[in-house]
């Protein structure tokens, strides 16, 4: 890959030996894969969720990096820097509510959006061609 622009900045990169081997996560039977963390971008083959800096209490910060085993689509919303994420996986409503509430707890979704979605019984987003007007009725 000629373009080494990282998808997110500030997280720790690493190198896993044998990354292309046909071995899945389950094949390690609870043991960690051998990985060298803190490698330079040109020597790395993975990006981790872990940030390089800790908070004042020594806790590690993480950025959300997921390996999703389903079709996904990320579409810009009407608000600059905001997006709509579509994950093509069917889940029961109770499981979906747990996911939504966890994403509020992590600061990914707004609490009001999730509360309204739970009240309505579904989540929703504007269609890509429907733009927000930002006009309030007087």
In the predicted structure, residue 30 carries a pLDDT above the cut 60: no
Complete DSSP assignment for 15-70 = EETTTTSS--GGGGTTPPPPEEES--GGG-SEEEEEEEEE-TTSPEEE-------S
Percent of the chain clearing pLDDT 70 (strictly above)? 86
Least confident among 21-30, 52-61, 97-106: 21-30
Task: Report pLDDT for 115.
Answer: 97
Statement: residue 136 has pLDDT above 60? no
Q: Token digits for 25?
A: 């996560």
The answer on pLDDT for 96 being more than 60 is yes
Burial class (CB in 10 A: 0-12, 13-18, 19+), 31: exposed
Mean of pLDDT over the chain:
85
How deeply is 13 buried, as exposed, middle or buried, from its count of CB atoms within 10 A (0-12, 13-18, 19+)?
buried
pTM to 2 decimals?
A: 0.73
């Amino acid at each position: 890959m000629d373009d080494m622009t990282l998808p997110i900045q500030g997280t720790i990169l690493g190198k896993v030996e044998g990354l292309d081997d046909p071995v899945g996560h389950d094949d390690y039977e609870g043991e960690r894969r051998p990985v060298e963390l803190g490698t330079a971008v040109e020597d790395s083959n993975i990006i981790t969720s872990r940030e390089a800096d800790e908070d004042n209490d020594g806790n590690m910060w993480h950025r959300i990096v997921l390996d999703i085993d389903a079709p996904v689509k990320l579409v810009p919303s009407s608000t600059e820097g905001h997006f709509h994420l579509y994950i093509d996986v069917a889940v029961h409503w109770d499981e979906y509510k747990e996911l939504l509430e966890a994403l509020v707890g992590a600061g990914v979704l707004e609490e009001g959006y999730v509360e309204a979605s739970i009240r309505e019984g579904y989540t929703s987003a504007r269609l890509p061609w429907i733009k927000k007007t930002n006009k309030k009725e007087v």
